């Protein structure tokens, strides 16, 4: 299947490893040029070497995205090295060690909302004008099944639910512009340096096997390539009719019907 996005340019936040790198690889296989950012220069260098095997242009930027100031700084850096962005993948996020509402302070909610919700919304607003002017664009937000049902920490659930809601509203607003906005809700995806790898490494074999048995119908953790390939499809010309959707990539893990 020709996804029709060769020579487009994609920006992926948190693109040096895990779901971000998998998304970059899947897009690179389709001939998409890439701008990726991450906090670690070492991780970015490794990712760049991997991505250049696909004969696409790869720009790496060391950047922590956590508030409006960092987003504005990042935008200026992107504009100096890329003339335009066709595909925006908002992948940065995390629960940042938070837990329940009772045990979390308001500042915990704020910092989790900042990185999971406000950064994605801010970047979308910044790059949308050019996409609308060009009559084509794709915004893909990496949410979580825990933005759709109970699981994870209270701040994380709230942040991902807000991201899903904002994406839905944005997609309807943009329906006549040629720009689409959608979410992907991964389940328990295990990858290097990720939270589920830490879960496996920090717990006994019995605890891990119990979690898998009770929560993962496929009998195993998910893998990032499945998310990456979903990103590539949502970025494609073939996804024109998919607007404001949140697609689970979870191996049947989630319990919600919708």
Residue 73 lies in a domain: yes
Task: Say yes or no: 64 and 129 in one domain.
Answer: yes
Query: Which pLDDT score is estimated for 1?
Result: 81
For tokens 């406000």, what's the residue? 118
Residue of 184, 175, 168 whose CA lies nearest to 91: 184
Residues 213 and 232 in one domain: no
What angle do helix axes 68-81 and 119-134 make, rounded to 10 degrees? 40
| 252, part of any domain | no
86 and 208 in one domain?
no
Amino acid 257: pLDDT: 83
Question: pLDDT tier at 247 (50, 70, 90 boundaries)?
Answer: very high
**Residues 131 and 210 both lie in one domain:** no
Q: Which residue has the tokens 């909610």?
A: 109
Containing structural domain, residue 81? 9-187+223-247
Q: Are residues 75 and 19 in the same domain?
A: yes
Q: Which two tokens stand for residue 164?
A: 């899903």
Structurally, the chain folds into a number of domains equal to 2
Strand order in the sheet with 137-142: 58-62, 33-38, 9-13, 87-90, 137-142, 179-186, 246-249
| Structural domain includes residue 110 | yes
Query: What is the C-alpha to C-alpha distance for residues 181 and 235, in angstroms, rounded to an integer?
Result: 9
Same-domain pairing of 209 and 117: no
Closest alpha carbon to 233 in 32, 11, 33: 32
Of the residues 75, 146, 156, 223, which is catalytic?
A: 156
The verdict on 209 and 99 lying in the same domain is: no
Are residues 87 and 148 located together in one domain of the fold? yes
User: What are 166-172's contacts with CB under 8 Å, separation 24+?
Assistant: 166/117, 166/120, 166/121, 167/139, 167/141, 167/143, 167/244, 167/246, 168/244, 168/246, 169/244, 170/124, 170/139, 170/244, 171/243, 171/244, 171/245, 172/243, 172/244
The answer to whether position 96 is within a domain reads: yes
The answer to the question of residue 120 being in a domain is: yes
Residue 2 lies in a domain: no
223 is catalytic: no
User: Which pLDDT band, with edges at 50, 70 and 90, does 231 fall under?
Assistant: very high
Bridge partners for 142 per DSSP:
184
Rounded mean pLDDT of 1-23?
96
Same domain, yes or no: 83 and 123: yes
| CATH number of the domain encompassing residue 116 | 3.40.50.720
Give me the pLDDT at residue 256, please: 86
118-154 pLDDT per residue, tens: 999 999 999 999 999 999 999 999 999 999 999 999 9
pLDDT in tens, 90-111: 999 998 888 898 988 899 999 9
Query: Are residues 208 and 154 part of one domain?
Result: no
Q: What is the pTM of this model?
A: 0.96
Calpha distance 76→159 (Å, rounded): 26
Please tell me whether residues 63 and 31 are part of one structural domain: yes
| Phi, psi dihedral angles at 162 (to 5 degrees) | -65, -40
Q: Are 96 and 72 in contact (CB under 8 A)?
A: no
SS3 call for 180? strand
Of all residues in the chain, what percent are helix, strand and coil, respectively (each to 5)? 50, 15, 35
> Under 8 Å CB-to-CB from 54, ≥6 apart: which residues?
25, 28, 29, 31
In a domain, 235, yes or no: yes
Cβ neighbours around 201 below 10 Å, total: 8
Average pLDDT over residues 160-185: 98
């Amino acid at each position: 299947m020709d996804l029709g996005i060769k020579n487009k340019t994609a920006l992926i936040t948190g693109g040096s490893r895990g779901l971000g790198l998998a998304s970059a690889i899947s897009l690179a296989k389709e001939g998409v040029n890439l701008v990726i950012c991450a906090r670690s220069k070492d991780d970015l260098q490794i990712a760049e070497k991997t991505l250049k095997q696909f004969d696409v242009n790869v720009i790496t930027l060391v950047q922590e995205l956590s508030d409006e100031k960092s987003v504005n700084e990042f935008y200026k850096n992107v504009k100096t090295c890329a003339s335009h962005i066709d595909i925006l993948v908002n992948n940065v996020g995390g629960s940042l060690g938070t837990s329940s509402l009772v045990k979390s302070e308001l500042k915990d909610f704020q910092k989790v909302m900042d990185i999971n919700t406000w950064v994605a919304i801010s970047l979308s607003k910044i790059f949308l004008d050019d996409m609308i002017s060009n009559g084509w664009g794709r915004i893909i937000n990496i949410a979580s099944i825990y933005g759709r049902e109970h699981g994870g920490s209270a701040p994380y659930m709230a942040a991902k639910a807000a991201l899903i809601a904002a994406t839905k509203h944005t997609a309807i607003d943009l329906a006549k512009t040629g720009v689409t906005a959608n979410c992907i809700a991964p389940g328990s995806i295990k990858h290097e340096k990720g939270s589920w790898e830490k879960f496996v490494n920090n717990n006994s074999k019995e605890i891990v096997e119990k979690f898998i048995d009770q929560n993962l119908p496929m009998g195993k953790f998910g893998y990032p390539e499945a998310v990456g390939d979903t990103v590539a499809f949502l970025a494609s010309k073939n996804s024109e009719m998919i607007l404001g959707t949140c697609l689970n990539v979870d191996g049947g893990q989630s319990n919600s019907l919708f």
